Structure 1
Amino acid sequence: MGFLHAAEQLGSMEQSNGLEPYLMFPFGKEGKIIMVYLDVADPNADVLDIQGIKKMELADHKDASEMKLKYLYRKKAGSNIKWGFSPIHFIGRPKKNTEKNRELLIGDTGNWVENTKTHFNKIRNRLLQDYEKEGAFAEGSVDNIMTDMEVKVEAIVENWVSNEPHLIIFGADKDGEFLYPGEIPAFVYYFQKKIKQSLIGKKSMKLRQRCTMCGKVDTGMTTLSKVFKFSTADKVNFLPGLDKKLAGSTFPICTDCFEKISAGRERIERLYSNSSVIPGLHMWVIPEAVGGEDDEHFKYLIVNKMDQQKIGESLTTLGDIREERYLSRLAREGQGLIFHFLFLEKIKAQELVHLMVEDVPPERLAFLEAKWKEAMTSVFGDVSSGLALDWAVKSLYITLSKYAGQSKGDRIVMRDFTIRTLGKMLRGERLPVATFKGIIVSRAACLVYETPKWDDVKKNMLYAQVWVEFMQRVNEGVA
């Protein structure tokens, strides 16, 4: 529960209201937005009568707080559903070939109506059509939009060139200015309607339940799985034993707690997530205040000691020189906080948790960093880089993967060993130095044979020695 309380605490400091707790930014960092100016007679009407498209423009993604409400974005409830919360369609990064980009939009023959893999087909059938079905668009509006989309396809191709992720967002033209979805009442009402349908089923509207977080008893509860997809009703690990009828009874939470946890998750993914430690996995480092209920003090700790440096900007390569490191800063300045570490893998709709370590004090991080510095200097001598705990965490899998060679199966084994070792480090347990030595010795020949440059072989062997030194020094300090 520590992790959930931390997420709730982070969400509480957002001071959001209305729809904001349910929203997120379309992109975590940089991205490009192709704005489609819809030709609407009255953008404030309950039902939008769309005659077509006036123009398209390219803009940068903005992460200012007010833009979250304007984008009105929330991830789709599932990969196979034929509607979205927001009139936004992601088209990804462009290919190097312009003709290939055009094919992705309308197909190689231009018959996008029949080609279900094209972006135009998905925009029509898996996004816009439901707006007309639900009464947000007047009849014939989708046909008018797609007719003009086809005419203006070259405008999309011309704007889809920067090597950044792109999306198409539908808004309205008002005297030459672009109205975002969050500024158009019909889109806002559609979003509200879909949120209610998605989060609170018909049965939950009548069933009285107790919120697992705050203890409140009421109807209209939703479930934690609407925020974290750690279990899904059709998987074996679903608690009620594959009975989908009991899905609403699994970890019910009230609307207030849902909004806080949902806002907390958005903040975690935006500020405290990193995907470069272990390929394919996301590492979350979630702070929680301890030693009092002073909300202002917690906000000071978070804003001044964590938000100033995003985790994704700190876990970098050994050659990068930075004055501050994320985990190093937490070790030095994290007094008053404890940390929850989560390593998860996103597999379609499910989020598979490989490791969760709760209640890690900053003193433990400081201890680990001190031992890492000792190990680095004992092997490499007087060095000025690679001494941060951030690099220690990242270097373990990098080192082990070199000994796995080209085998995908061996890399998975090395990944799992890395996860278990990091878990022991964070929990303050003894590290498996003998097992690590056995892996290195048995696979040294593979490293030499499959590594073309001898300097790389030498460097990887030295890093393996650093890890042996580090593990031994940590074990000496662990009871």
Structure 2
Amino acid sequence: MLRALKEWGELFERPIYDKVKADKVIVLEFELDNVGNATLKDISLEEFSEDKLNKYLYRRAKSSNPPTYSPTLRLNTEDISKSLNNLIKVNRKLRGVPQISIDVETVAERIRGMIEGTEKSTSYLITIRFNGKYIGEMPEYIKAVGDLIKGSYEKNGICSICGEEKKVAEDLPFNFLTYDKPGYIVGGFREDVAYKNSPICFDCYEKIRIARQNLESATFKLAGTEYMLIPETLKKENLQKLKELFEYLRENNLNLDNLDKVHLYDLLEGLVREEDKNLIFSILDNLQEISGERGLDILSIFSRFKDIIIAHFLFIKREQSREAIELYISDVFPSRIDYLFKVKGFIEELGIVGNFDYRLINEFFKEKGFYQMVEATFWGKRVENAFLCDGLMNVIRESFKEWDKRTDYKLIGEALAVYLFVRITTEGLSMQQSQNLQSLEEFFVWVKNLPSIGSEDWKYGLVLMGFLTEYLLEEQRKERKSKPFLKKLKSLKMDWGDIIKLLPELRQKLEEYEAFDYQSVKMLFGEISQTLLQSTKPKASVGELNFYFASGMGLYGIYGGLMFNRKQTNEEVEE
């Protein structure tokens, strides 16, 4: 990943300043005399502008004392004096620049009066100017800040990125590294050898820093979660094309209406697969998305690339100044993402959901669970079936508490879609195209063809049993305005013994409601009995057993009409 970032960073100019955002900028205006003495003349408040980033010359430091390498820093509105002292301290560290002297408390009081009454959420930068020039407009400041940074690279070592022997430091443009816990670093608490964990030279650091800033500005999301897509390819000309593509998409805020097809063709030429050349002009008209975000899904374009390009996906969680890698997925090929789109298409053709994307997965699996599912599906890494079903059932059971008042077939359909997507993409299961079902017999075949479900009799039988149970519950609702049979389902926490015991109780209730004599009901009950009673007790968790049962209940909301299709069964239609 770091080498890929370095190569990406080589495509850009590497200014010494960092990108930063703020609402306002407080400027301490100094006047320089002929011998270089600085006198504070004014304090002004102006609007922050990204166009002035080079002038502000903001550059974060490794430490918090002071927090920057230049006399431009974020204002601590709770302790303005502290910010002013840090500004003076870092300015003193710089060689060959004008030195300043101020009455800290007096200046702090003036600034406090300037920002008083503004919104608490307003953020400020504080910086200095000399004779109307920002420090970023003064060559001596640019050189001094660069020299100060380079001065922190004082150890001789082999750079872990470029492999060359240079002056190195224990730093990365990510706050992942920990040097305050024994066992995390070489030498325990010995700071003098801590650099051996991640020795990096100044040149490589700067390339990675710029690459990160550039890629983060793309703000791609998966189900609302931001991630960094780090491209890698052997040919630098392809990497340059990707750079131009990313910049074009970013300039247009991923807005489809603003993209020019001819220009997009030029950017994608040579990157997409041969069979997809004609797609370039129609990509905006036939766009699919799997990320769950509105707008242009970068994955829909990446999936069409040749496998000469790979991607690294980095999900970072930020808490104040701390950063943690929530998920890192390396070496993902376009053909893999294309496969995910094919599975998405298959799921949608089944008719259990209108549109499938990672937003549905995020509805059932939050935070760590969601990251686990993303990694598994992107990489084809197997997920324990019990973990998958338990996660889905946790959400289904919450909805089931209201099942006597309303039925949430949509939720169960989404859960089944998530289950099939994960099982197919992590196990490479075959996908048999579905058909327009016209009869109950065709429904049996359809269930048997469901990947991971129809291949095992007990799963198939549980789906049909849930289907028939939901039919009974609907009959009770029509006749009694309630569903007393729900109590038999034990809040969908039934074990294998409970399910086998439920079978005769289900038949008894169907007979009480004079429904068992229908040919379709008998057919369905017979298929369930034959399948389940001949099955040995499966080694499955309660969550797994009830998930397949609940899936059948959800499918009744879609295919329940097949129970009494007059054309196919030659029987009375029950209302």
Distance 1:88 1:129 in 2: 11
Residue in 2 aligned with 1:109? none
Aligned partners of 1:285 and 1:341 also within 8 Å: yes
Residue in 1 aligned with 2:339? 367
Residue in 2 aligned with 1:10? 8
Matches within 5 A, 1:142-291: 142-143=102-103, 147-148=106-107, 150-151=109-110, 153-157=112-116, 160-161=118-119, 166-172=123-129, 174=131, 179-185=133-139, 187-197=141-151, 199-201=152-154, 204=155, 207=156, 209-218=157-166, 220-223=167-170, 225-236=171-182, 238-242=184-188, 243-271=190-218, 274=221, 277-278=224-225, 283-290=227-234
Aligned AA (1:71): Y
Residue in 2 aligned with 1:303? 244
Structure 1 residues 321, 417: CA separation in 2 closer, same or farther (over 3 Å shift)? closer
Residue in 1 aligned with 2:60? 75
**Structure 1 residues 268-291: Cα deviation after superposition (integer angstroms, max 9, x where no partner):** 32335659744xxx522210113x
Distance 1:431 1:310 in 2: 39
Matches within 5 A, 1:394-473: 394-401=359-366, 415-447=367-399, 460-473=411-424
Larger RCO (CA under 8 A, 6+ residues apart)? 1
Distance 2:45 2:393 in 1: 60
SS of the residue corresponding to residue 332 of structure 1 reads coil
Aligned AA (1:289): T
Shift of residue 337 of structure 1? 1.5
Aligned partners of 2:231 and 2:312 also within 8 Å: yes
Aligned AA (2:127): F
SS of the residue corresponding to residue 226 of structure 1 reads coil
Of residues 146-155 and 245-254 in structure 1, the stretch that sits farther from structure 2 once superposed is 146-155
Distance 2:244 2:119 in 1: 36
**Structure 1 residues 55-93: Cα deviation after superposition (integer angstroms, max 9, x where no partner):** 32224333xxxx4432312223234x23522333435xx
Matches within 5 A, 1:76-91: 76-79=61-64, 81-90=65-74
SS of the residue corresponding to residue 102 of structure 2 reads helix
Distance 1:252 1:321 in 2: 41
Shift of residue 173 of structure 1? 6.0
**Structure 1 residues 427-450: Cα deviation after superposition (integer angstroms, max 9, x where no partner):** 123344442222222453335669
Shift of residue 8 of structure 1? 0.8
Aligned partners of 2:25 and 2:46 also within 8 Å: yes
What is the alpha-carbon root mean square deviation over aligned residues? Answer: 3.8
Shift of residue 11 of structure 1? 0.7
Residue in 1 aligned with 2:282? none
Distance 2:46 2:3 in 1: 42
**Structure 1 residues 384-443: Cα deviation after superposition (integer angstroms, max 9, x where no partner):** xx55xxx41x44233334xxxxxxxxxxxxx22222221111212334444222222245
Q: 1:57 aligns with which of 28, 46, 63?
A: 46
Aligned partners of 1:273 and 1:312 also within 8 Å: no
Matches within 5 A, 1:123-142: 123-132=83-92, 136=97, 138=99, 141-142=101-102
Q: 1:39 aligns with which of 22, 30, 35?
A: 30
Residue in 2 aligned with 1:112? none
Distance 1:439 1:239 in 2: 36
Aligned partners of 2:396 and 2:411 also within 8 Å: no
SS of the residue corresponding to residue 82 of structure 1 reads coil
Q: 1:25 aligns with which of 14, 19, 22?
A: 19
Of residues 465-474 and 228-237 in structure 1, the stretch that sits farther from structure 2 once superposed is 228-237
Distance 2:421 2:248 in 1: 30
Structure 1 residues 68, 161: CA separation in 2 closer, same or farther (over 3 Å shift)? same
Aligned partners of 1:41 and 1:50 also within 8 Å: yes
Gaps of 5+ in 2: 256-288, 431-575
Distance 1:131 1:470 in 2: 57
Distance 2:371 2:212 in 1: 22
Confirm or deny that 1:340 pairs with 2:312.
Answer: yes
Aligned partners of 2:364 and 2:395 also within 8 Å: no
Aligned AA (1:34): V
Structure 1 residues 161, 181: CA separation in 2 closer, same or farther (over 3 Å shift)? farther
Aligned partners of 1:271 and 1:310 also within 8 Å: no
Q: Aligned residues, how many? A: 394
Structure 1 residues 148, 350: CA separation in 2 closer, same or farther (over 3 Å shift)? closer
**Structure 1 residues 30-71: Cα deviation after superposition (integer angstroms, max 9, x where no partner):** x523242513225x98x6613242532224333xxxx44323
Residue in 2 aligned with 1:327? 299
Distance 1:339 1:427 in 2: 12
Aligned partners of 1:344 and 1:354 also within 8 Å: yes
SS of the residue corresponding to residue 340 of structure 1 reads strand
Gaps of 5+ in 1: 92-103, 106-117, 402-414
SS of the residue corresponding to residue 249 of structure 2 reads coil
SS of the residue corresponding to residue 68 of structure 2 reads coil
Structure 1 residues 210, 431: CA separation in 2 closer, same or farther (over 3 Å shift)? same
Shift of residue 134 of structure 1? 6.0
Shift of residue 327 of structure 1? 1.6
Distance 1:275 1:76 in 2: 31
Residue in 2 aligned with 1:352? 324
Distance 1:346 1:237 in 2: 24
Structure 1 residues 52, 239: CA separation in 2 closer, same or farther (over 3 Å shift)? same
Distance 2:334 2:399 in 1: 36
Tell me the TM-score normalized by structure 1: 0.69
Aligned AA (2:308): G
Instruction: From the CA coordinates, give the structure whose radius of gyration is larger.
Output: 2
Shift of residue 317 of structure 1? 9.1
**Structure 1 residues 15-35: Cα deviation after superposition (integer angstroms, max 9, x where no partner):** 43xxx1x432103xxx52324
Tell me the TM-score normalized by structure 2: 0.59
Of residues 228-237 and 356-365 in structure 1, the stretch that sits farther from structure 2 once superposed is 228-237
Distance 2:98 2:410 in 1: 62
Structure 1 residues 131, 275: CA separation in 2 closer, same or farther (over 3 Å shift)? farther
Aligned partners of 1:7 and 1:286 also within 8 Å: yes
SS of the residue corresponding to residue 78 of structure 1 reads coil
